[in-house]
Amino acid sequence: MIGRGLVTAVLVVALDQLSKAGIVALFAAYPPGHLVRLAPFFDLLLTRNRGISFGLFNNGDAANSLLFSVAAAVVIVVLIFWLKRVETRFLAVAIGLIIGGAAGNVIDRLIRGSVIDFLDFHLGSWHWPAFNVADSAICLGVAAMLLEGFVLRHTPPQAKGRGDSLS
């Protein structure tokens, strides 16, 4: 299953980086703060997040960016080791989504010094924090892992052999 998970991760990274490059190119022609309204509840808006999820610790400190990149790299390594032991396709894809999303954001931090966020959903004046394809993949991967763990959980095979009974 490691192959399935890693292919998923590579596809997520490619889609994430292509979408970010497209957004950066699109907004190069506009003044800072410009947004593209796609629907009454959805805009494209170029933002640069130097912090972690939802803009926490977004103070522009380069040390934070390095710290968050190292932490994400450690998570990626742990997930790859976990992926080696996975026995279901569903969980392999879920872990691949998380690995790809984390890797996509690490690439941004290393190349751009910040993570490019651009998907801006809102209801009136209330805006959800802007996010990107990598963030979406991480959320979908975590949701799929929870679904697999709580709903699709397979019962482990029962031990067979002498000494296994309680009688």
Catalytic (active-site) positions: 117, 135
144 closest CA partner among 8, 10, 17, 26: 8
Distances (CA, A) of 141 to 2, 62, 144, 145: 15, 28, 5, 6
Q: Which two tokens stand for residue 20?
A: 């970010």
Neighbouring residues of 21: CB distance < 8 A, sequence distance ≥ 6:
none
117 burial level (CB within 10 Å; 0-12, 13-18, 19+) = buried
The residue to which tokens 């879920």 are assigned: 94
Residue 50, amino acid = R
42-49 and 115-123 strand pairing: antiparallel
140 closest CA partner among 83, 100, 98: 98
